[in-house]
Structure 1
Amino acid sequence: MLYYYIRMAVFSLKRTPLLSFLMIATISIGIAATMVTYTVSYMMTKDPIPSKSERLFTVHLSSWDPSRMYRMVDGKEEIPIFVTYQDAMNLYNEKKGKRQTIIGSHKTMSRSPSQPPGEALSTLLRATTYEFFDMFEVPFLYGSGWAESDDEQGERVVVLSKKRNMKLFNGLNSVGEEVLIGGLLYRVVGVLDDWVVLPRFYLESHDAFMDVRDMFIPFRSNIDNEWIAASDVSMYCWGDFEMNKFSSMLTSECVWLYFWVELESLTQREAYFDFVNNYAMEQRALGRFQREQMNRVLNVPEFIKHNKVVTGDSRLAVWLALAFLVACLLNCMSLMMTKFHGKGAEIGLRRAVGASREDIAWQFGCETILIGLLGGVMGLLLANLGLIITAEIYSHLNPALMTMNVELMVTTLLSSVIASSLFGLYPIYRACKIQPSSQLKSL
């Protein structure tokens, strides 16, 4: 019987091609607009590292100037999301977590030794420790990260991004090759595979949707080279120090480094927080940390929320798209009522030969579902086209942000079918209410 109703639905759509196309197109446009905005919002807010997001924590310390606040956020005093060099090293050397890492950054020129100086490329470096790659589940195409001893000795080793490896070595296995970074020779130990992390949770909100950095080098090597690019680093300072003297900056109260720790289990969070507070009290006794202590350890979801990675504008865009979808569905419902009312004579004839109201409901229900399915397919195509255009417009953002996964594709189709079915209930109800006698008289 269901097959019969589906055949009737297909036949009905063919009989009124223009009206059918208008209904399908109306749904598809609304679905496409909604799914474009929802896809971007979903990719912004999804858990970037679900296997351990609850066990990865960033540490923030109340180390700011006691005479003035760092900043106010939502009417409350805020503390930096960065730590000083001395605090990063102190926390790191305590080894209180399963793994811990320091994350800094630098910008310089790089090229392969075979390239002339004029072909050097501006390069974004990520200075970090060897644990970074295992902590954040970084995939490798060739080789691996460096060893602990490379960190301790500040060896000149480097991990390349897949994109930079393509530019320098045409995508070939470059492990063992050398790269000139800032005029110094670094040996390649690994090449990253595609590493799609959205949002890039371990950084500031403005870096959360950027592509991975071109190169990774040991943090100690970065310090030994006295590399720090003021144009690339978010650095906030107070107190007396010589800005042009690197050693002075290392002992200053300038905050510019991220510190992350991985714990074995959630049960260790309280103990680690106690350790951080005890460390702060020790520093207070030494004359530092004189402000009210608001130290915190935030896991990945908490830091993403605190960092305000997803702005209110993104959420507003989703709601506006949903409102547009409702408007499209209301228009589609009006078209359905027009079409079903125009089939009054057919309904009257079917009722006269024994069809029940349930039969009429099944007939038009199948047609409504088919309209929704076709609208979903067309909406899926339009949504992907819209995402491609969006990726071109916002080319500075990671293109994976504008990419639908299988889950979102299925959601698109189901949303279209469910929405069209719900908004088709009233036209179906009106069709079922048509009296056979009134229609048969007009035949």
Structure 2
Amino acid sequence: MFAYYLDLALRSLKRSPGLTALMVLAIGFGVAASMTSWSVFRAVSGDPIPWKSSQLFVPQVDNWGPSGRNANGDPPNAMDYTEATALMRDHRAKLQSAMYQISPSVVPAEATKHPINVSGHAVFGEFFAMLDVPFQYGSGWAASDDANRAQVVVISSKLNQKLFGGANSVGKSVNIESRDYRVVGVLNDWNPQPRFYDVVNSGGFDSGTEDVFVPFQTAIQASIPNDGNTNCNATPKESGFVGLQHSECIWISYMVELDDAAAVTAYRDYLQGYAREQKQAGRFSWEPNNRLRNLPAWLDNQQVVPSDTKVSLLVALGLLLVCLVNTIGLLLAKFLRRSAEIGVRRALGAPRRAIYLQFLTEAGMVGMAGGVLGLLLTCAGVASVGWVMPKDIAALARLDVSLLVMTLIVAVIATMLAGLYPTYRASRVQPAWQLKSN
């Protein structure tokens, strides 16, 4: 019976090719706009480390007081050097790391090659285990390397390819800012988006790769400057990088791993106690005003998902809704124009259910054709996202099997829903009226 309905639907669609083309175009463009916007929104709003995000937390210590709080009363979104080193020294979390962004120069061993400007971070050794960073060769450095300010480095596979042809370079030396660093690890391809471990300094998204990771205190000792954001509530009393370390300026990101609710409560109490100690010492003159958010809450607080992607998605969904309304009108006109045919079939004994299934099958075929067109337009849309979105965000939009399947499913379901009312009206045609009028 279904094959019979398909044959009837195909014959009907062929009888009015212009109307059929309009419906297919409406569905195709509406679905393509929605799926293209969804591909971008999905990329920027996804959980970057879903298996562990609930255990990763970002602490905030209020070192500026009421004048430095935002409209919600939140303290600064980064730390100064004093807070970061104090929290690392006390080490109240299972794993933790302070970090700041660097952009040093790497000098290749061959004298004929020019220095390479790279980006990276100064971190503590626990950074790699805390974030489950994948390694191609070697591993991160030990806690003793942090304490001894060892000149060790973890490099990206991309930099390893440039310097060592992709071979295992663990144990070899890399010249960074005129100092030799021993390679202890080479990363696998790792460039999480959003760059959740340093949202403050990265802005959330960065299409560039992180090429070097060096010990935090080693970078401080070597005076490798901060290349991220620096915010000050007062001018530092001393100049240069040393003055930045002695100031209340915030420029250091911080993340901790806490396994359970008890650990979260204990760490939150520790932050409160630390702030009270600073008040007693005369450094703070205000009551403790700290925050401890897990990673999803932190990304939401920092508004990592750009507002324009949300607006684009809403606009695209609105366009799809308009297209569906137009499709409803076209289907209604098409179905009711065949009232005489419906009346004859009903008079010959066809039940309303048969009429309903026949026209719903026809709506499904329109949806399938619109879905195929939508697939092609979605491919073109994803490829051209860079024309309307920032480059770093546009680079995240990608085509995959799930997106293509979802595009087809949305097209068919949307058209079937659009066809419910016209199909209902068609099935309610009274055969006696049609036979009398004809």
Given the two structures, how large is their TM-score scaled by the length of structure 2?
A: 0.90
Partner of 1:225: 222
Displacement of 1:440? 5.2
Q: Quote the Cα distance in structure 1 between the aligned partners of 2:378 and 2:264.
A: 42
- In structure 1, what is the Cα distance between the partners aligned to 2:154 and 2:50? 25
Q: Distance in 2 between matches of 1:360 and 1:170?
A: 69
TM-fit CA distance, 1:405: 4.9
Which of 190, 213, 218 is residue 216 of structure 1 equivalent to? 213
Match of 1:3 in 2: 3
* Separation (CA, whole Å) in 1 of partners of 2:157 and 2:19: 50
Question: What is the distance in 2 between the residues matched to 1:311 and 1:395?
Answer: 10
Q: Which residue of 1 aligns with 2:276?
A: 281
Amino acid at match of 2:328: M
Out of 9-18 and 247-256, give the one that drifted further: 9-18
2:375 aligns to what?
Answer: 380
Question: Could you say which residue in structure 1 is the equivalent of 2:96?
Answer: 100
What is the aligned partner in structure 2 of residue 20 from structure 1?
A: 20
Amino acid at match of 1:26: A
Q: How many residues align?
A: 436
> For residue 135 of structure 1, what is the aligned residue in structure 2?
130
TM superposition score normalised by structure 1? 0.89
Identify the residue that residue 48 of structure 1 maps to in structure 2. 48
- Greater shift in the superposed pair: 330-339 or 120-129: 330-339
Amino acid at match of 1:182: E
Alpha-carbon offset, residue 442 of structure 1: 8.0
Asked if 2 retains the 8 angstrom alpha-carbon contact of 1:63 and 1:290, the reply is no
> Residues 30-66 of structure 1: CA distance to partner in whole angstroms, max 9, x if unpaired?
11111222222232222222222122111111111x5
Gaps of 5+ in 2: none
- 1:221–1:202 distance in 2 versus 1, CA, 3 Å: same
Q: 2:17 and 2:167 mapped to 1: Cα distance?
A: 54
The letter for the 1-side match of 2:63 is: S
Pair 1:297–1:149, CA change in 2 (3 A): same
- Residues 224-247 of structure 1 show CA distances to partners (whole Å, capped at 9, x for unaligned) of 211114x53434253653122x44
Answer yes or no: is the 8 Å Cα contact 1:162–1:171 preserved in 2: yes
Residue 126 to residue 369, structure 1, CA distance change in 2 (3 Å): same
User: What is the CA-CA distance between 1:144 and the residue it aligns to?
Assistant: 2.4
Q: Which residue of 1 aligns with 2:354?
A: 359
Please report the RMSD computed on the Cα atoms of aligned residues, expressed in angstroms.
Answer: 2.6
Distance 1:441 1:88 in 2: 88
Partner residue, 1:109: 105
Q: For the residues of structure 2 that align with 1:233 and 1:182, how far apart are their CA atoms?
A: 21
Measure how far apart 1:309 and its partner are.
1.3
Q: Is 1:303 the counterpart of 2:298 in the alignment?
A: yes
Residue aligned with 2:63, SS? coil
Q: Aligned partners of 1:166 and 1:26: how far apart in 2?
A: 49
Distance 1:349 1:22 in 2: 28
Q: Which runs of 5+ in 1 are unaligned?
A: none
Q: 1:19 to 1:169 in 2, by over 3 A?
A: farther
| Cα drift, residue 335 of structure 1 | 2.1
Query: Does structure 1 retain, via aligned residues, the 8 Å contact 2:196–2:299?
Result: yes
Check whether the contact 1:112–1:178 (CA below 8 A) recurs between aligned residues.
no
Separation of aligned partners in 2, 1:196 and 1:4: 53
Report Cα offsets for 1:202-243 as digits up to 9, x if no partner. 2236521113422211112211211114x5343425365312
- Residue identity (%): 39
